[in-house]
Amino acid sequence: MFAITVKGARRMIGEPSTLKDARQVRTRRNLLDALLRLLETRPFEQVTIREIALEAKIGYATFFRHYPAKEALLHDLAAGQISALLGQALPVLFAVDSRQSCITLFEYVDERRALWSALLTGGAATMLKQEFTAQARRVAEQRGGVDGWLPDELRVIFAVSAAVEILAWWLQQGADFPIPKIAEILDRLVVAPAMTVD
């Protein structure tokens, strides 16, 4: 397990890339894709920078022109995936049919099962949860609050933490645990109570 914080990773790699040099953008994309492929074969802790560079077809030193450590690369990968997942997950908190939104969320993760298994069980869960919470707060602030008994900030923290734990548990169960059942669990355990306005 590594001890990098989301804030520390952002400071190391900067906010989302605004690189204009096509070669730099292509190299970063190759590094992200390489890490993704490697994470599908083994846990993050077992992946080396040399292997990432080799898989990305770049020189070892080139890696360090883009990222100071493999954890920063993982953060970049996770931030992009979390952003995409939030596009699926946040409608859960604002949807009329929250059960169907939960199903959509699990279908999204299921299509990327190897990646999300690596992110949630490969030593990155703490960083992932922090980044997920930070992004969810920003999106929730943009959408406006929910008028209810639970403070909005606590609602986001609870919903994200619980959703991440449920996702991690579900991924460890293998493909045999049906999506409609886990969606029902998320909906009844997290979404419905968090959205109660009394």
Q: With the CA atoms of 105, 189, 148 and 128 taken in that order, what torsion angle do they form, in degrees rounded to the nearest 10?
A: -50
Q: Which of 41-45, 69-73, 80-84, 156-160 has the highest mean pLDDT?
A: 69-73
Nearest alpha carbon to residue 77 among 105, 40, 50: 40
Residue 136 tokens read as 């969810």
Mean pLDDT of the 175-183 span? 90
CATH fit for domain 6-71, picks 1.10.3720.10, 2.115.10.20, 2.40.50.140, 1.10.10.60: 1.10.10.60
Domain residue extents for the chain: 6-71, 73-195
Tens digit of each residue's pLDDT (9 = 90 or more) over 83-126: 887 776 666 555 567 888 888 889 988 988 878 887 887 666 77
**How much is the average pLDDT of 122-144?**
74
| Type of residue numbered 196 | T
Q: Give the global pTM.
A: 0.69
* Residue that wins the pLDDT comparison between 122 and 62: 62
CA dist 170 and 167 (Å) reads 5
Rounded distance between C-alpha atoms, residue 173 and residue 168, angstroms: 9
Cα atoms found within 13 Å of the Cα of residue 56, Cβ hemisphere only: 27
